Every structure is written in C-alpha cells, then in structure tokens.
Amino acid sequence: MQNEQEDQTCKHLKLDEACLTIQSTASRALQLWTQSSECEGCPGLFQKEISPRNNFTLKVNTSTETNLTVIEDTSAGVFCSQMYNFEEYGNYLMVVEENKQESERCLIMTTKEPVNTCIPIIAAVVVYLGLALIWIVGKCLY
C-alpha cells in the first residue's frame, strides 16, 4: 500500500520537485511543518498530521533549502527540526523515531539519487564546440 501511494505521489514530479517519504515509528501523533530558507521570519507551513506508526509521501521544493520541523502539538514544542537541501527528482526518506536525542529523532536519507540537471547543458556545449572545431579545420583545409 505504501509503495503504491509513493508511486502515485512521485510519479509526476515537476521542475524543482523531489519526493519525501515520512516513516514514523512514534507512538503519538505529530505534525510536519516546513519553511523555505528564503523566507526568514515567516511562519512555517503546515504540511500534514503524522499518525502514530504510519507512513506518507509528499512532494518537496528543491529550489531552496527547506526547514522540516516535526512538533508534538502546538503546546508541547519541537520534536525535531532539520534544515535540508533536497535535489531535483530525488527520493528521500525521513525516519521519525522516539526515545532518541533530538538531533537523532529525524534522520533523512536518500533512497533514489537525484538527476544531474547539468548534463544536457554540458552535452550541448560539447556538441557546439565539436561543430566549431570541424568548421575551423574545414576552413583551414579548403
């Protein structure tokens, strides 16, 4: 069921998007909030309620670093908070665990390497340089 949900959510990623799966082993409900690094001082954006011992998948923006904050509820405070720079078309897993130090409660791992978006640009430059070289050599020979 989880892989099916992830496949549907991540099937049509657009420019500057990546896929993040949240896997919670916590015994209580939590909330996921996000904030772009470009928006200093802005309130976080509520993304989703994290049900106890549940997984879900969402799309994340890759154009800037994202601060992911998991809170227990509005009065209890921060469960964990982490700044992460997602890369375009990558798949990521965030494991939310209890009974750990705050710095280890939310670990983010790459499950599918992001695409290198510079490859088409490099290929085009190489092709044009090759054509320029052929043009120059052709002019010198004829």
In a domain, 22, yes or no: yes
Please give the residue range of the domain that contains residue 78: 2-115
What was the pLDDT predicted at 1?
45
Predicted TM-score (pTM) of the model is 0.75
State how far the Cα of 55 lies from the Cα of 89, in Å rounded to an integer.
20
Token pair for residue 58?
Answer: 């969402």
Q: Which tens digit of pLDDT belongs to each residue from 57-94?
A: 999 989 899 999 989 876 678 888 889 999 988 999 99
Tell me: pLDDT of 112 over 90.
no
Tell me: pLDDT of 129 over 90.
yes
Q: What is the mean pLDDT of residues 12-18?
A: 87
Question: Number of folded domains in the chain?
Answer: 1
Domain containing residue 36: CATH number: 2.60.40.1110
Composition of the chain by helix, strand, coil, percent to 5: 25, 40, 35
In a domain, 75, yes or no: yes
What was the pLDDT predicted at 5?
52
